[in-house]
Structure 1
Amino acid sequence: MSEKKKLEAYYGLPEEVSFCTKCVMSNQRPTSTVEFKHTKDSRKTTMNFDEQGVCDACRTAEIKDNIDWGMREEELVKLLDKYRKNDGSYDCLVPGSGGKDSAYQAHVLKYKYNMNPLTVTWPPILYTDYGLKNWKNWLDSGFDNISFYRNGKVMKLLTKLSIENLLHPFQTFILGQKNLAPKIAAQHGINLIFYGENEAEYGNPLADNMTSLRDKSYFSFEHLDEIFLAGVSIKELMEKYDVRLSDLMAYLPPKAEELEKANIEVHYLGYYLKWTPQEVYYYAVENTGFKARPHRTQGTFSKYSGIDDKIDDLHFYTTFIKFGIGRATYDASQEIRNRHLTREEGQALVSRFDGEFPDRYFNDVMEYIGMESEYFHELCDKFRSPHLWGKDEEGNWKLRHNVAGKGLED
């Protein structure tokens, strides 16, 4: 058996590293956000590559080219006619923070299709100044909003534990963000929730255009003892960290009986309307006052995606550490699928920006969670999977394989 075969692959990742022949994504990209306590037992699944070496996301992009979008819009109109209310009450819910996607969703639904959306915000952990301004501009362009600011002490603890146990700064944040919308919808008698892009756009399993929240597999509160937050069981959080169950409820899914009564459906607007990130960005700029970042996002070449939270940049750095996939890989792959970049241009951008350390807000994040920077870097080394990383002759960490063919073992 060769030395390469002996190298351990963490997180259930494929031992052999390969790259999509159309975009620049690797087969190490996880499709599940479910994380467990032990770093080598995260039980992740990764995106599929077909016999031609093409990833799921690129195949989905090809399907989009052959969709009759006029017919899809007719489906959307029928759906909206079914749920539209004429008594002044909210008839749909749009979760978001005022980024380009949620700004586009809410504005199109209200001002093109005459819906009355309630917008709901699970706020960033650490707002950027421009992110906060975009959120305010979004609401000032014509929307009611509920912003749920969770227990700050618990958010800090869970963020720190998520980094220590999973090297995933956003793990608990994402869970709370996902579970907030159905809770608010149920409270306000809203039966329709709209998200933006279908998850299949990024290589997750092809999602249907609709999910019923009556399906207990989507959101459930059935087995509390089996739920982990930040890699820690609910029981341990309560006993070891003196956290009350009431402090954790914001992160947990609604109870099944609540969903049964609510009769809520979740739809992706990107299923009905062709979703092109650059065009969505321009629409948000023109109609909701959205403004791009005043500087390039560290780790990539763009300025307008995921810019409201200071921790966002660090999150993508940790994906680079764990999976060898940084923010430039995600951005370039999407731009290639939308024919705004060639694969060769994407390779060059990934080589230049992927894995760039996000030092602009790093100290702010460490101060917020009470972690020493040296300890964070030690954690990064602990979470590097041996099959992805090695050291060069000078003792510096380097990917064994990269999309440009310039890795340690390429």
Structure 2
Amino acid sequence: MLPPDGPKPEALYGLPSSVQFCTRCVISNQRPGSVVEFRNDPAARKPSILFDEQGVCSACRYADIKAAEIDWEQREHELRRLCDRFRSRTGAYDCIVPGSGGKDSAFTAHILKYKYDMNPLTVTWAPHIYTDIGWRNFHSWIDAGFDNVLVTPNGRLHRLLTRLAFLNLCHPFQPFIIGQKMVGPRFSALYDVPLVFYGENQAEYGNNIEDNFRPTMDPAFFTAEPNVDSLRLGGVGARDLIRDHGIRPADLNPYLPVAPDRIRRTGTEVHYLGYYLRWDPQECYYYAIENTGFQPNTERTTGSYSKYSSIDDVLDHLHYYTTFIKFGIGRATYDAAQEVRNGKITREEAVALVHRYDGEFPSKWIDQILEYMDLDITTFERVIDEARSPHLWKRTENGWQLRHRVA
């Protein structure tokens, strides 16, 4: 360990050098801010989670606002007016709902169709490797009464991008996140359906509270001139992908932002249903079980205690393992923090769950993951260890240990 008067260990990824945990939930100030993934622009990253003078994070403060200050009856009236404005009178699709058939997208599509009389087209950006339960839930979603377009990206390219994203960024989900963000607005433009609904605004879980008071997604997240020269995927410029890996420019189309003129022509508006209806992930789970046949997994999610979140993609397990490595925040922290805010568990219970499960290695899935990314375990371990920020991690005779744990 460093002597008390020695230099502070370096903080990578633009993270705060001093670690602070919320006094209300279990999230830390190391939670990364949102980022426009397709741009190589530091200005596109928003600040990480904010803490007030009482040590309470912005996500917990917004939970207070949701509970006591928002008029949810008025918000639902706004939703009904929005649906009235866009509802088709001819039987055509009148909104796009992106999702996988997990609890959140199942709730969103079902309640829009069967309570608010909309006719949604569901669109899915395919997982890297479907889990058995994820595939069954996807089909249960469709069987509950929805048309669906399953967008499966070029397998050779997507595997390559995932591999590069892991090697260069320790962020194997980056290409998936880009496709997932783009698929709703893209199909809005392709099918001339201007209204798109995602579930909750990720600002609920941190960043500036004011972001939650806008019902629509910032267009910067999905629209820009589709310029291959400015596109970076997996930490590599698109021109390098074309030159070094034999990728055709046309293969990159699904990862490009949607052109502003197409968005204007369609009049695309991307709304968060969580702005209009009080969003609670566990209540979405109960609703999806009852109305779409959604099933939880038979075992808990690796790195957490829950059985119903992030269960459709094998690489989800790697994604949350890498967030633990880079930011000291794993799946259990994310799950427990939001359940404290929603009154499902106490902070004391959350701390115990984080200590028990956070950062669990995805040993059950590692062979499939390595095969998918065409990596050996030695390379994998090297990337993981190089991604550990010195201000979060120390090496001891018993291996790597976090310098700071929630208490």
Shared fold (TM-score, shorter chain, > 0.5): yes
Contact 2:46 2:207 in 1 (8 A): no
Partner of 1:237: 241
Partner of 1:174: 177
1:251 aligns with 2:255: yes
Distance 2:401 2:46 in 1: 23
For 1:106, give the aligned amino acid.
A
Partner of 1:15: 17
Structure 1: runs of 5 or more not aligned: 405-410
Contact 1:9 1:386 in 2 (8 A): yes
Distance 1:97 1:207 in 2: 24
1:286 aligns with 2:290: yes
Identity rate, percent? 54
- Partner of residue 331 from structure 1, selected from 335, 338, 344: 335
Deviations 1:63-96 (A, max 9, x none): 1012111111111111100110110100001000
Aligned-pair distance for 1:209?
Answer: 3.5
| Partner SS state of residue 237, structure 1 | helix
Residues 109-124 of structure 1: matches in 2 within 5 Å?
Answer: 109-124=112-127
- Partner of residue 206 from structure 2, selected from 185, 203, 206: 203
Deviations 1:193-227 (A, max 9, x none): 001012222113324443378x5675212554232
Contact 2:122 2:146 in 1 (8 A): yes
Residues 274-313 of structure 1: matches in 2 within 5 Å?
Answer: 274-313=278-317
1:219 aligns with 2:223: yes
For 1:307, give the aligned amino acid.
I
Aligned-pair distance for 1:332?
Answer: 0.4
- Partner of residue 134 from structure 2, selected from 124, 131, 134: 131
Partner of 1:396: 399
Structure 2: runs of 5 or more not aligned: none
Residues 62-141 of structure 1: matches in 2 within 5 Å?
Answer: 62-66=64-68, 67-141=70-144
Deviations 1:328-373 (A, max 9, x none): 0000000100111111111110000001101111111111121112
Partner of 1:183: 186
Aligned-pair distance for 1:235?
Answer: 1.1
Distance 1:287 1:361 in 2: 30
Give the aligned length. Answer: 401
| Partner SS state of residue 197, structure 2 | strand
| Partner SS state of residue 119, structure 1 | strand
| Partner SS state of residue 18, structure 1 | coil
Q: Cα distance 1:387–1:42, how it changes in 2: closer, same or farther (>3 A)?
A: farther
Q: Cα distance 1:306–1:226, how it changes in 2: closer, same or farther (>3 A)?
A: same
| Partner SS state of residue 13, structure 2 | helix
Partner of 1:356: 360
Contact 2:178 2:255 in 1 (8 A): yes
Q: Cα distance 1:119–1:3, how it changes in 2: closer, same or farther (>3 A)?
A: farther
| Partner SS state of residue 266, structure 1 | strand
Which deviates further from its counterpart, 302-311 or 217-226?
A: 217-226
Contact 2:392 2:403 in 1 (8 A): yes
Deviations 1:291-335 (A, max 9, x none): 001101110000001100000011000000000001000000001
Distance 1:176 1:32 in 2: 16
Distance 2:176 2:51 in 1: 30
For 1:148, give the aligned amino acid.
V
Q: CA RMSD in A?
A: 2.1
Contact 2:394 2:403 in 1 (8 A): yes
Contact 1:37 1:232 in 2 (8 A): no
Which deviates further from its counterpart, 50-59 or 99-108?
A: 50-59
Partner of 1:53: 55
Contact 2:332 2:353 in 1 (8 A): yes
Q: Cα distance 1:89–1:338, how it changes in 2: closer, same or farther (>3 A)?
A: same
Q: Cα distance 1:138–1:109, how it changes in 2: closer, same or farther (>3 A)?
A: same
Contact 1:92 1:190 in 2 (8 A): yes
For 2:92, give the aligned amino acid.
S
Aligned-pair distance for 1:36?
Answer: 9.2
Aligned-pair distance for 1:270?
Answer: 0.7
Q: Cα distance 1:60–1:297, how it changes in 2: closer, same or farther (>3 A)?
A: same
Contact 1:5 1:15 in 2 (8 A): no
Q: Cα distance 1:42–1:168, how it changes in 2: closer, same or farther (>3 A)?
A: farther
For 2:14, give the aligned amino acid.
G
Q: Cα distance 1:349–1:212, how it changes in 2: closer, same or farther (>3 A)?
A: closer
Q: Cα distance 1:127–1:4, how it changes in 2: closer, same or farther (>3 A)?
A: farther
Contact 1:72 1:271 in 2 (8 A): yes
Contact 1:227 1:234 in 2 (8 A): yes
User: How does the TM-score come out when normalised to structure 1?
Assistant: 0.94
| Partner SS state of residue 216, structure 2 | strand
For 2:317, give the aligned amino acid.
D
For 1:83, give the aligned amino acid.
F
| Partner SS state of residue 10, structure 1 | coil
| Partner SS state of residue 93, structure 1 | strand
Residues 354-393 of structure 1: matches in 2 within 5 Å?
Answer: 354-392=358-396
| Partner SS state of residue 211, structure 1 | coil
For 1:178, give the aligned amino acid.
K
Q: Cα distance 1:174–1:216, how it changes in 2: closer, same or farther (>3 A)?
A: closer
| Partner SS state of residue 12, structure 1 | coil
